[in-house]
Amino acid sequence: MAVDVPILAEPARRRRRFRVRSPKTLAITLTLLLVFVFFGIFGPTLAPEDPYAQDLIGRIQPPVFDGGSWDHPLGTDHFGRDYLSRLMHGARISLLAIALIIPIATVIGSLLGLLAGWFGGWTGRTIGALVDYQLALPGILVAVFLASIWGPSLLNVVIVLVFGLWATWARIVRGETLALREREFVIAAQTIGATNLRVMVRHILPSLINAIVILATLNIATVIIAEAALSFLGVGVEQDTISWGAMTAQGRDLLRTAWWLVTVPGIAIISVSLVVNLFGDWLRDYLDPQLRNVR
């Protein structure tokens, strides 16, 4: 048996500013989100140029909206590489990071939170202490520290960001499990002889799915920004791998003369993060009727 677990709402004033209010806004949000996913999957195939091909004669060409040509709609970088092609390739790294980090952190955090909330006692105290300790650490600083020790690679980015995010799920799931285990349907299941595993899988976990999914959606933007930050600092993906954070770092020394080298990937990072947050906010309101009716 499953019940709806209300998700803690943010202050109404803050929530109103970011709420997806109309079907038109939702359609735009979903369209932009699908465009990002599309470019993340098919971008390298559809890119108009080889993103690694250098043309020193055509270096630092401006984008078409700043007097450039349609041969390079977003201009070229300091090695003459087509910036649109590099931007499309960079979307794949962000999408791959999301596809790896979010599911792993969700499973680890939800499982530990479920165990801590259901069993309590020594198990609950130990996991609760780990969660409190993890949440007390400055996440991005820990990620930079670990990534700088292990070196730049996508695998290391996945490890350090999973390490920094799992406690978010564990805290929420633990708190909701503590409340659910006192509900009548859970007590009734125990009374008729249901095992701990059966109660957790058949009764507790289904009631937590909405909260887990919404939390996963809202943390996608965190992953995008964190991966970009690590790559910007040179401790993210490998140096020869195209990512939006690395593109921003490579163009920062030319900000005055070639502003698009920083602005274009920066806008991509901000736009995707905003769209994902808008979708997560809509999904939260849709799955939780109590929040949907708050204005």
Task: Give the start-to-end residue ranges of the domains of the chain.
Answer: 12-292
Percentage of the chain with pLDDT > 70? Answer: 90
- How confident is the model over 193-215, as a mean pLDDT? 89
Q: Which residue has the higher pLDDT, 293 or 214?
A: 214
Q: Which long-range contacts (CB under 8 A, 24 or more apart) does 186-190 make?
A: 189/1
Query: Between helices 205-218 and 83-119, what is the axis angle to 10°?
Result: 150
User: What is the rounded radius of gyration, in angstroms, for the C-alpha atoms of the chain?
Assistant: 22
Write down the pLDDT at residue 9: 45
State residue 82 phi and psi, 5-degree precision. Answer: -65, 125
Amino acid 215 reads L
Question: Is there a contact between 261 and 244 (Cβ–Cβ < 8 Å)?
Answer: no
Please, which residues bridge with residue 82 across strands?
76
pLDDT at 293 over 80: no
pLDDT of residue 76: 92
pLDDT score recorded for residue 186: 86
Instruction: Please state the rounded mean pLDDT for residues 248-264.
Output: 90
The pLDDT of residue 148: 85
Q: What's the rounded mean pLDDT across residues 130-149?
A: 86
The larger pLDDT score, comparing residue 6 to residue 274, is at 274
- Phi, psi at 52, each rounded to 5°: -100, -10
What local confidence, expressed as pLDDT, does residue 212 receive? 92
Predicted TM-score of the model (pTM):
0.85
Q: For CA atoms 246, 252, 258, 262, give the dihedral sign.
A: positive
Residue 106 pLDDT grade (very low, low, confident, very high; cuts 50, 70, 90): very high
For residues 52-59, give the mean pLDDT: 89
For 12, 43, 207, 287, the CA distances from 214, given in Å and listed in that order, are: 18, 27, 13, 9
Q: Distance between CA atoms of 81 and 79, rounded to whole angstroms?
A: 6
12-292: what fold?
A: MetI-like fold (1.10.3720)
Q: What is the pLDDT of residue 239?
A: 81
Is residue 182 pLDDT above 80, yes or no? yes
Distance, CA of 278 to chain centre = 13
